[in-house]
Amino acid sequence: MRVYLITIIFLIFGPTFVKAQRFGYIDTDYILNKMPEYKKAQDEIGQLSEAWEKEIQDMSKKIESMYSALQAEQVLLTEEMRKDRTTAIQKKEAEMKEYQKKVFGFGGLFFLKKQELIKPIQDKVWDAVDKAAKQNNLAIVFDKAGELVMIYTDPRYDYTDFVLDELGLGDPNDKIKN
């Protein structure tokens, strides 16, 4: 999608746009992994995800044991008892699927928690990108970590360190900056 957008920009504004503008790129994966609050958020999301997965596994095991018990006792049960147990198993399966959807489905608890924890961090990064781009007179900043494939990148145009500086995470000994 980004490649198409860039192509459209080049087609609309032509070669003079490319010559007149400054470009740079950053690596958001690298930046985010340098941020302690991002690591903390990732850990919290991971713990929640594991807990929810364990709950679902426990529900699944209970359903399997109910099914095994039905199979083992099937010859001893009346038709009505078999139907009741089968209905109970189906109800538990439906409950498990509904819970799974509630937690991991689109707009589910996992999605909402991830958005709650990660979005403020991303906003902080985007604000730093905006500030670094304006300070360095950049018209366009690409994200090396995104879908845009960069075959070659000249380190002169890497503004990742400027964004890290804006976030207070830069290396004071870094002498590469322009």
Domain range annotation of the chain: 2-166
**Does the pLDDT at position 173 exceed 60?**
yes
Q: What percent of the chain has a predicted confidence (pLDDT) above 70?
A: 82
Residue 102 has pLDDT above 80, yes or no: yes
For residues 141 and 7, is the Cβ–Cβ distance under 8 A?
no
pLDDT at 142: 86
Mean pLDDT of 29-45: 95
Contact 48, 113 (CB under 8 A): yes
Which two tokens mark 159?
A: 């503004």
- Mean of the per-residue pLDDT values for the chain? 85
DSSP state of 107: T
CA distances from 119 to 32, 41, 85, 128, 147 (A): 12, 10, 46, 14, 19
Summarize the confidence of residues 74-80 as an average pLDDT. Answer: 91
Helices assigned H by DSSP within 28-78? 28-34, 36-73
CB atoms within 10 A of CB 37: 14
pTM for the structure as a whole: 0.69
Confidence of residue 108 (pLDDT cuts 50, 70, 90): very high
Identify residue 166 by its one-letter amino acid code.
Answer: E
Q: What kind and span of H or E run contains 166?
A: helix 160-166
In this model, does residue 154 exceed pLDDT 90?
A: no
